[in-house]
Amino acid sequence: MIIPGITRAGKTEFVWGARTYVMGIVNLSPDSFSGDGLSTIDAALAQARQMAADGADILDVGGESTRPGFTPVSTEEELKRVIPVIERLTPSVNVPISIDSTKYEVVRQAVDAGAAIINDQWGLKTEPRLAVLAAARNLPLILMSNQRDKGAFDPHIKRDTAFYDNVMTELIGSLRRSIETARQAGVPPENIIIDPGLGFGKTWRYDLWIIRRLEELKVLERPVLLGPSRKSFIKMVLNVPPEERVEGTAAAVAIGISKGADIVRVHDVKAMVRVCKVSDAIMREDSG
């Protein structure tokens, strides 16, 4: 099922269904789970520019780790990490920058500095004012389903189809509530993107199941962002460290595209752009 429509971020148009778009991760947190955290502005700028050169359609800049058990940082520290990068990056690349934060003041200043997309990992459940900001600035808003407030699903519970049916029902319901909050704040439907939130309050088997059943999210009639890059479900299958999970990420990206992913959020941009091109050539009639 193709979700029709166009989403605009700055000068960029995302035509849903035409191809899969690639979001490159620019991680300014030193304790990132993936081992890619950058500690200097120059290193972040160099990585981001390389990602743009390698074919990234969006650069997602974040300054706080979201790994399980992460230590939250203050608003001041997060601002110190992300704002100088966004200010210098915006005029030097031709792709939109996304701000990956749940803090209103961080997002507001990031937008003032040039960010053109808001990526909220709590789907407006902790900071609904982000929807007001997105509506006022006419910015795309990524809404992720995050179950960490409920704790991860008990890995000892016996899984069967009925269990996963309930999990998918919860996931769709969570995203539907986030969409409703955004719409009530005035965000137009074409500016809403949804993300199932792999790893956020889900076991690794749940992540596999989400990818397997990703097409069910199309009932929400919004484009889907999938973020499988270097996640722990790949570790559980392959038993390799984060920097050796490129093949596992590629498999998840390709299958995610076959199940309806519209954007993939990744660390290894050059390799995943190639995976997307081949997957699109197979799955999308007008590609290739």
Question: Domain coordinates of the chain in residue numbers?
Answer: 6-283
Q: What is the pLDDT of residues 12-53, one digit of tens each?
A: 999 999 999 999 999 988 754 444 556 688 888 999 999 999
Q: Average pLDDT for residues 109-130, to the nearest whole number?
A: 96
SS3 track for 124-181? CCCCCHHHHHHHHHCCCEEEECCCHHHCCCCCCCCCCHHHHHHHHHHHHHHHHHHHHH
Overall pTM surpassing 0.85 (yes/no):
yes
What distance in Å separates the CA atoms of residue 204 and residue 197, rounded to the nearest whole number?
Answer: 12
The sign one gets for the Cα dihedral 117, 27, 144, 69 is: negative
> Are the C-beta atoms of residues 237 and 248 closer than 8 Å to each other?
yes
What distance in Å separates the CA atoms of residue 108 and residue 82, rounded to the nearest whole number?
Answer: 12
Choose between 199 and 186: higher pLDDT. 186
What distance in Å separates the CA atoms of residue 98 and residue 148, rounded to the nearest whole number?
Answer: 23
- For the domain covering 6-283, report its CATH number: 3.20.20.20
Q: CA–CA distance from 145 to each of 121, 175, 242, 250 (Å)?
A: 7, 6, 23, 23
pLDDT at 150 over 70: no
> Could you give the percent of the chain with pLDDT greater than 90?
75
In the annotation, is 231 catalytic? yes
pLDDT at 250: 98
Active-site entry in 265, 270, 274, 284 = 265
pLDDT at 155 over 50: no
State residue 200 phi and psi, 5-degree precision. Answer: -95, 90
In the annotation, is 213 catalytic? no
State residue 202 phi and psi, 5-degree precision. Answer: -125, 145
Q: Average pLDDT for residues 146-174, to the nearest whole number?
A: 64
What's the mean per-residue pLDDT of the chain? 89
Choose between 188 and 159: higher pLDDT. 188
Active-site entry in 231, 259, 274, 277 = 231
